[in-house]
Structure 1
Amino acid sequence: MKAIILGGGLMGTATAFFLARRGHRVTLIERRQIGAGATVASFGNIRRSGRYLPQMPLANRSLALWNRLARMLNQDVEFRATGHLRLIFDSHGLEKMRQFRADAMDWGLTLQELDPGDIRRRFPGLGPEAIAASFSPQDGSANPRLIAAAFARAAVQNGAALVERASVERISETAQGFHVATPNQTYSGDVLVNCAGGWGPDIARVFGEEVPCRLAGPQMAVTEPLPHRIHPVVGVWARDHGAYLRQVERGNVVFGGAVARSKPDRNGFARVDAAGLRTQLQAVVRLVPALRGVAVIRQWSGCEGYISDMLPVIGPSATTPGLFHAFGFCGHGFQLGPGVGDAMAELISTGDCVTPLAPFHISRFAA
């Protein structure tokens, strides 16, 4: 089987790797550079708490792969199971966490509930005003700047072909399969996999499938290197755009959240709102007061597709045999990436998938 994958982010490169590993001929086409879109702008969170519960089997499948990726890809992508701590500052957050905790047990996730004494004892200096917290010890983070390139490199080692800086000019379907025309060449395949992120709806539309989606970008920043004292990924159970942060091994603290998502320009570049940094820092200091007064050395954003129901589109096309979709991850796809690639390869190869994907099928927008 010959497969064409459109989009060289985490979803596309992971799918390319797992398909090539199964012995299929794969061509991955990326309009810019591998991993240079939403993936590289990601926070790098490996988080299961707070997810849409029917997504949990996919998240669990992905977590198992994160634990094996260094060996599978022959590269350290800096996955660290440091745990994920979500602080709670009000009764609404506590109620929300406890309900999720109770519901998630049936989906294979066990959350520890911590009281203020537990927080001070286990995570001194974090959330001194918090009334409670949840902790997921098996979760953590990885490096968004390494992961797509690592998957792409491993895919090539398994026989895949990568085509970078190639915009798609035309997509067509014939009795012989799919044809994708770029400025320099036309590629043909039996299967077409749409992993084009925020531009995924444009590809779906070619085949008569409409997906309500908008482009937006999270606003991220990083501090100067500091003594390493923040072990887990830190977030918050909140009504609004809660802040989140993690400290990388080099000592820098990466943080995001607390402000509205930026609006990309017509070329797909999302620019940060410098005025929002003050709001972000106020939220971050509430999580870690010791960060007050540190220097912020860089801000960035990236273009992501946000679907109207805040769930991705994953699975086969509803109109076109041989077409598959995996796009629109709404800012929470990083953790899912390896699992999505593996599940898509299984689905494309066998026609079925042991991990339930029905809640993410594109047919939910048919009406």
Structure 2
Amino acid sequence: MRLVIIGGGILGTAHAMAAVRRGHEVAHLERELEPRGATVRDFGLVRMSGRSAAEPDLALRSRLLWEEIGGRVPGVGFRPAGSLTLVRTPEELAVAEAAATGPAAEARGFELLDPERVRVVNPALRGKFLAALHCPTDAVVEPWQVLPALRAYLTATGRYTFHSGVEARDVTDTGSGARTRDDQGRVFDADLALICPGAAHTGLTRELAGALPVRRVRLQMMQTAPLGEPLTTAVADGDTFRYDPGFAGPEVVTLNREQSQTATAAEHRMQLLCVQRLHGGLTIGDTHAHTEPFAFDVHEAPYEHLTCVTEELLGRELPPVVRRWAGVYSQSIDPGVPVVRARVDRHVWVITGAGDRGTALGPLLGEETADLLEL
């Protein structure tokens, strides 16, 4: 078969991977000349630890796919780094204890560590905390490398062509397939067209699928200069318990009732996630804004909060911040639905709404769509 895939983020690229590995041909269209969307404005975390009760199996299967991809495409920078969620209050500790003994603990590899054992796993953590929830099944890829590396790998198969700087203007079902016209007047005929628009919910997406059960979420993040020492795991703080559905339970209700968050963290719905890049710098974030229109600028207070918390956990001053950015991603409104697949016509589908699970679940979501469409 021949497929046209519109949208060059992780979701579109994962669908291209699934199609090509099954022997099909893909023409891939992307409006930007280089990656600029949610995939590169991300941590690159392949997380098991924060997934909802319905998703551990999905996350594990996707993590295994990422490990396989990392073996074939070293440029994605796959690393089985694991993660440590550091807790600083008794209420956060209660959530960590419940997670470490809960029904999903074995599948995720959860273990509660005291500070001494934390520093054995990650010696860079010399600051103040009560304990940490260790998740050895979490992994990392390099968000700025993953898309170019996957495209190069796909191109080498001879069954994939990537067209950058191209915007799809029209997609129609011909009865026997799908016809796509781009803004240069070219026509791409295919058996199937898959539109993976990311956070672009208007324009072609709205024309084809109407209003979808998705929302847009805005975040702020930053990148430091090299730390000068290894940060052997990804790091999170106890505020992740407030927002990650995998930790839902009475202990989180108590956590939300007590006012341990700073005013800045509460206002911007913040959690700390910190990942070391291959060049040694730290990617640190993030905030969550759901009400549009989003601000055009970035606020300094969240960055000050992230710096303060990271320095407290590391027990040292952070290297200089060299980049700051905002990003927007598309998220399914139903937390139990990891991605929205809307069938427009027999041969045309719109797929979006993976949210902050795009990187973690991307390869599996592509495979699931391929199974659904019997590719």
Matching of residues 356-367 of structure 1 within 5 Å: none
- Deviations, residues 180-224 of structure 1 (Å, cap 9, x unaligned): 221121222221212211125765543445324333332121222
Structure 2: distance between partners of 1:57 and 1:90: 30
Establish whether residue 281 from structure 1 lines up as the match of residue 280 from structure 2.
no
Counterpart in 1 of 2:236?
A: 235
* Identity in percent: 25
1:177 corresponds to 2:177: yes
Judging changes above 3 Å, is the alpha-carbon distance between structure 1 residues 132 and 35 closer, same or farther for their aligned structure 2 residues? same
User: Relative to structure 2, which stretch is displaced further, 148-157 or 210-219?
Assistant: 210-219
CA gap 1:152/1:271 in 2 versus in 1, 3 angstroms: farther
Match of 1:153 in 2: 152
SS in 2 for 1:344: helix
Match for residue 255 of structure 1 among 274, 278, 284 = 284
Contact 2:85 2:133 in 1 (8 A): yes
Asked if residue 163 in structure 1 is aligned to residue 163 in structure 2, the reply is: yes
Q: 1:256 to 1:320 in 2, by over 3 A?
A: same
Q: Which amino acid letter does the alignment assign opposite residue 113 of structure 2?
A: L
Question: Normalization by structure 2: what TM-score?
Answer: 0.81
Partner amino acid for 1:39?
Answer: T
Q: What's the C-alpha RMSD, in Å, of the aligned pairs?
A: 2.8
Question: Per the alignment, in what secondary structure is the counterpart of residue 119 of structure 1?
Answer: helix
Q: CA deviation at 1:110?
A: 2.0
- Call closer, same or farther: CA 1:46–1:57 in 2, change over 3 Å: same
Cα shift at 1:76: 2.8
1:198 aligned counterpart, secondary structure: coil
The answer to whether the 8 A contact 2:344-2:350 is kept is no
TM-score w.r.t. structure 1 length?
Answer: 0.83
The aligned counterpart of 2:352 is: 327
Q: Which residue in the other structure is 1:114 paired with?
A: 113
The corresponding residue for 1:198 is: 199
Q: How does 1:209-224 map to 2 (within 5 A)?
A: 210-224=211-225
In the TM superposition, what is the alpha-carbon distance from 1:234 to its structure 2 partner? 0.3
Give CA deviations for 1:147-168 in whole Å, capped at 9, x if unaligned: 1112222222221121211112
Give runs of aligned pairs for residues 264-343 of structure 1, distance below 5 A: 271-292=297-318, 294-310=319-335, 314=339, 316-317=341-342, 320-343=345-368
Give 1:332 shift.
3.0
Q: How many residues align structurally?
A: 344
**Equivalence for 1:136:** 135
Q: Deviations over 1:101-157 (max 9, x none)?
A: 413147x32211112332244434527432221111132311111111122222222
More displaced 10-residue stretch of structure 1: 248-257 or 318-327: 318-327
Matched AA of 1:273: H
**Change in CA separation of 1:282 and 1:6 when aligned onto 2, cut-off 3 Å:** same
- C-alpha distance in 1 between matches for 2:336 and 2:7: 19
Query: Residue in 1 aligned with 2:256?
Result: none
Structure 2 Cα separation of the partners of residues 247 and 265 of structure 1: 32
